Structure 1
Amino acid sequence: MGSRASEQDWLLEKALTAHSGKKLKRAIHAYKKALKKGPNVTASNGLAIALRELGLFKEALSVIETGISHEPQHPVLLNTYGTILISLKRKNEAISKFQAATKGAPECPEAWANLGLGFNILDMRLEAKNAFLKALALDPRCVRLNYELGKTLYCLGENVAAEKYFSVYLKKKPNDASALNDLGNVIFAQRRFEDARNVYHQAVNAQADFVSALNNLGSTCRRLADIDGAIDAYNAALNIDPEHAEVRCNRALTLLLAGYFEEGFAEYDWRWKTQKIKPLVNSNHPKWRGERASGLRFLCISEQGIGDTLQFSRYLPFLAERGADITFCCQPSLVRLFKPAPYLKEVVSIKDKVPNHEVFSPLLDLPKYFPFSNGMNADHYHLPSPDAIALPGSNIKVGIVWAGNPEYTNDAERSIDLSLFSPLFRIKGISWYSLQVGKAKSDLKQYPDVFDLSTNFNDFLDTARAITGLDIVLSVDTAVAHLSASMAKPTWILLPDVSDWRWGLKDEKSCWYSSVRLFRQKIRDDWVTVVESVRRQLILFLKSKAP
């Protein structure tokens, strides 16, 4: 008996030595010979891990299940069992094994760490965070746990804490390009764009062919209005991966921001190959590419947001002039607004059955096929005029919108607190009307003198009717701003220091709408100065209207 045990020990030592030297086939052979001498936790566990590392997951599963049959509650085996189940994409089963392992060995940091990894795979971020914190408390010297915890905290939006853990990890691993890229992400999320740019540069220096870091560097440069830096970063990424759709799309947006519309819209075709933009309606018919349109049953499909639809619907009359019979498929809240348009044969909702057609085009493809000068300041282009709503009083009437859709990625950049408008509300001779919808309209409770027009809004036709009775619309960058501007209503738009591409970088005027005036932040996040500029211009507007 003793001889048999000593032989098994010798075989185990041989197997472990081969395993640690990455000689997996030799290790597997030794583990199997050791197991022939009798059940053994170390041999079963090692063999299962070696098979898993070779990608032989089913064989690994068979080995670990045999081992578990002899030691049903052994935490080491349960932990390895869980990792194999993860490899087999049996995620929920894996979690149960990791939980059993932590219950059997609550002081085992590896079990807690694997439990955290399992929770992350299931997008159970809070549970993952707690598991990683437990693992780190048990093994503070495990540097990698700081990185895994940092990634989890980033997913939870806990960016300050994530930065702390990434920084701890990077003190030990300063050239880990992936960690530097992740650190840049959490710093960017805190809107410290200059710092983020520096960190992304470090990531690229650590790994010159790191496309994701180059893409992030480009986007950060764009946010800092560093157009040349952005284009250089995107070009470097595309030299490595010319077919990278997200980089292509980001380069297109940068070109559009800089006013290179022809090049920008041509490259913007790549948006359909990203994961971020999906068609609102699918068509199995040929896509229009600028060929003859006369007599064609043409389906034009809205895409992305309401503002995009309102802005680029200006191209529909040009398409109609080419003889196309246009069915416009748009968001439900816009159907009644566009119904009376004489250049449209039919207007349907994206939720309706797709009507018969011969060709189709996404709306934002149209600018490529018409002279850009046609679309700029299209003063001849107006939405169908809705019936006006008479608003009482002789004061100048100003409508306001201070918040966009909170689900929009960059909403924090554009939406502001209604209280910032307080200096405007004190100007005599102006009556104030709210066009705001959504959760933000509850802010009006603090301002009883602002009349809420939105109580009767069912769609954008109702909003348009309200706008007809106003003298000015004052808005952050929202769909209402596009609606008002498309109606040729004087529209004053408040913008962050670097805005969405369609408003350009510097001008006070818009190349898309002649009735728009742009009020830009000169210092990031300084809305107070922007509102003060609006206040001065409103006073001048009042004086110009005085008898």
Structure 2
Amino acid sequence: MVIQHLLRQARQYELDGAWVAVAATFAALASAQPSDHRFLVNQANALWLADLPDAARECYARALRISPDCPVSKRGLASCLRDLNQFEAAVALHQELEAVLLPGSPDRLANLWAHSQVLVGLQRFAEAFACMALRRPWMEGVLHPTGDPLVPQLTLVSEQGFGDTLQFVRFLEPLVSLRHAAGLSGGLQLLVEASMVELLREGLAWLQEPPQVRPKPQQLPADSLSLLDLPHALGQQDVAPNGPHGGYLVSPLWTSEGPGLHPEVTASGAWLVGLVTAAGRPLVDPFCLREYQKRTLPELIIWRLVRELQRHESVVVDLQFGDEATRHHGLGLNLQDPGVSLEGFAATARVVAQLDLVITVDTAMAHLVGAMGRPCWVLLPWSADPRWLREGSLCPWYPNSRLFRQPRTGDWHGAVDQLLECFSSTCVVAAKAP
């Protein structure tokens, strides 16, 4: 009876998102049933969702001492090691798991994806792309995706989030070149979310034979190839080179006159700095909520950052999207309206093209600005997504982007200190001519 009561209590805490309380409940269960490793695993899972990877790591290790072959414990431990920037140790665990998990099992497929992300962080790109391509078909109904980029009719489909799509469309340029060299004309289709169609139609028009970009239907063609599997199909050993002007999404339409910032703003001679301070807010998914909380700036940090940027006589343009835009209004910050709705990515690109710099947290905006080859400064948590690597101010994906990392977990002041010092010494010194 006591165990059932504690399990119901843990479930209620879980529904409330109270992960430390969930961990405490499973800790009580683990004490009551010290031979059952599953309670320790659930305690560790809750601690990881509370963004406490050090504490979670210890719980997973205790669970493994009871049940050394538990795949959930090993994969959880690998996630903690990744969050602690111990990528090599995480890779070793993923390799150990790959050798024992059943082919096609959910555990093995989840492990392949997690393994691929850590390999990206180590810049072992060919291995990472191979792991991505080995995981399960990613949408229901796509049972046998082709890996041949030279079929006459090739359909690519977006996968994961907007940022992943913007990051991986870079591989369209080597794909188009390969198909052209093979004598294939046309036959290339790219299916993406509706809000990205106009952006990619315009931004990829410079390619020798751009794809037909269409909204992704509910039922996908059975022979589709995930955009994330494309680099492996092409045999890519690293990230593809950038296109014109350092970017691979480039369009003259984005720099021509049209809706956007008021001419008086663009002609003022002040530095025009776009700002995004929050990742997209998820509704229910605990993992996405954890990522949102890690990547989103607290209000105190936003206030300080904006006031310092404005003190240097820059115009801060509000690029925040979604519900989190209300935070900027609530703080009473005097931010410049972008002049257009940011619902569509093409409209956002037109605004970005008018700016001198975009400052953003790790969200789709970082990938859009990077893909356009525009200057972008990205504020990152200490344990950032592996795609940004684990240290350094530069990354191989976007040469015109600069990374500002928390020096320790949760220290946004330290990351903003670095950014403001750089802003003061770089942007203000190179003052714009009126």
Smaller-chain TM-score range?
Answer: 0.7 to 0.9
Residues 218 and 230 in structure 1, CA contact (< 8 A), matched pair in contact too: yes
Matched, 1:307 2:167: no
SS of equivalent residue, structure 1 residue 329: strand
Matched, 1:250 2:132: no
Residues 312 and 428 in structure 2, CA contact (< 8 A), matched pair in contact too: no
Q: Give the corresponding residue for 1:375.
A: 240
Residues 222 and 230 in structure 1, CA contact (< 8 A), matched pair in contact too: yes
| Counterpart residue identity of residue 56, structure 2 | A
Q: Which of 414, 424, 440 matches 2:324?
A: 440
Q: Give the corresponding residue for 2:147.
A: 289
SS of equivalent residue, structure 1 residue 386: helix
SS of equivalent residue, structure 1 residue 215: helix
Q: Give the corresponding residue for 1:44.
A: none
Q: CA deviation at 1:177?
A: 0.3
Q: Give the corresponding residue for 1:10.
A: none
Residue pairs, 1:125-164, within 5 angstroms: 142-143=2-3, 145-164=5-24
Q: CA deviation at 1:461?
A: 0.6
Partner Cα separation in structure 1 for residue 332 and residue 28 of structure 2: 48
Identity of aligned residues (%): 23
**RMSD across aligned positions (CA):** 2.5
| Counterpart residue identity of residue 199, structure 2 | L
Residues 117 and 387 in structure 2, CA contact (< 8 A), matched pair in contact too: no
Q: Give the corresponding residue for 1:400.
A: 275
Q: CA deviation at 1:270?
A: 4.2
Higher helix fraction: Structure 1 or Structure 2? 1
Consecutive unaligned residues of structure 1, counting only runs of 5 or more, are 1-109, 111-141
Partner Cα separation in structure 2 for residue 373 and residue 237 of structure 1: 25
Residues 144 and 169 in structure 1, CA contact (< 8 A), matched pair in contact too: no
Residues 247 and 374 in structure 2, CA contact (< 8 A), matched pair in contact too: no
Matched, 1:348 2:214: yes
Q: Which of 343, 353, 359 matches 1:468?
A: 353
Q: Give the corresponding residue for 2:81.
A: 221
Q: CA deviation at 1:420?
A: 1.1
Q: Which of 127, 139, 144 matches 1:263?
A: 127
Matched, 1:431 2:308: no
Matched, 1:384 2:265: no
Residue pairs, 1:8-407, within 5 angstroms: 142-143=2-3, 145-243=5-103, 244-272=108-136, 278=139, 287-290=145-148, 292-293=150-151, 296-321=152-177, 322-323=179-180, 324=184, 325=186, 326-340=188-202, 341-342=204-205, 343-351=209-217, 360-368=224-232, 369-373=234-238, 375-377=240-242, 379=246, 381-388=248-255, 389=260, 390=263, 391-407=266-282
Residue by residue over 1:303-353, the C-alpha shift from the partner in whole angstroms, topping out at 9 and shown as x without a partner, is 111111111111112211123522111111111112233332421101488
TM-score by length of 2: 0.84
Residue by residue over 1:408-441, the C-alpha shift from the partner in whole angstroms, topping out at 9 and shown as x without a partner, is 3411111113441333323222111011110111
Partner Cα separation in structure 2 for residue 182 and residue 416 of structure 1: 29
| Counterpart residue identity of residue 268, structure 1 | M
Partner Cα separation in structure 1 for residue 88 and residue 4 of structure 2: 36
Partner Cα separation in structure 1 for residue 219 and residue 75 of structure 2: 39
TM-score by length of 1: 0.68
Pairs aligned (count): 397
Give the 3 Å change call, closer, same or farther, for CA 164–454 of structure 1 in structure 2: farther
SS of equivalent residue, structure 1 residue 240: coil
SS of equivalent residue, structure 2 residue 382: coil
Residues 30 and 37 in structure 2, CA contact (< 8 A), matched pair in contact too: no
Q: Which runs of 4+ in 1 moved over 6 A?
A: none
Partner Cα separation in structure 2 for residue 454 and residue 235 of structure 1: 50
Partner Cα separation in structure 1 for residue 419 and residue 410 of structure 2: 16
| Counterpart residue identity of residue 441, structure 1 | A
Consecutive unaligned residues of structure 2, counting only runs of 5 or more, are 283-287
Q: CA deviation at 1:358?
A: 10
SS of equivalent residue, structure 2 residue 90: helix
Taking CA–CA contacts closer than 8 Å with sequence separation of 6 or more, which of the two structures ends up with the larger relative contact order?
A: 2
Residue by residue over 1:165-210, the C-alpha shift from the partner in whole angstroms, topping out at 9 and shown as x without a partner, is 2222222322320001011112222222111101100101101121
Give the 3 Å change call, closer, same or farther, for CA 229–536 of structure 1 in structure 2: same
SS of equivalent residue, structure 2 residue 136: helix
Residue by residue over 1:66-125, the C-alpha shift from the partner in whole angstroms, topping out at 9 and shown as x without a partner, is xxxxxxxxxxxxxxxxxxxxxxxxxxxxxxxxxxxxxxxxxxxx6xxxxxxxxxxxxxxx
Q: Which of 353, 358, 366 matches 1:481?
A: 366
Give the 3 Å change call, closer, same or farther, for CA 353–194 of structure 1 in structure 2: closer
Q: CA deviation at 1:448?
A: 4.1
SS of equivalent residue, structure 1 residue 456: coil
SS of equivalent residue, structure 1 residue 149: helix
Give the 3 Å change call, closer, same or farther, for CA 212–353 of structure 1 in structure 2: closer
Q: CA deviation at 1:377?
A: 4.9
Q: Give the corresponding residue for 1:544.
A: 429
Partner Cα separation in structure 1 for residue 219 and residue 57 of structure 2: 47
| Counterpart residue identity of residue 181, structure 1 | V
Partner Cα separation in structure 2 for residue 182 and residue 283 of structure 1: 33
Residues 147 and 179 in structure 1, CA contact (< 8 A), matched pair in contact too: no
SS of equivalent residue, structure 1 residue 315: helix
| Counterpart residue identity of residue 295, structure 2 | R
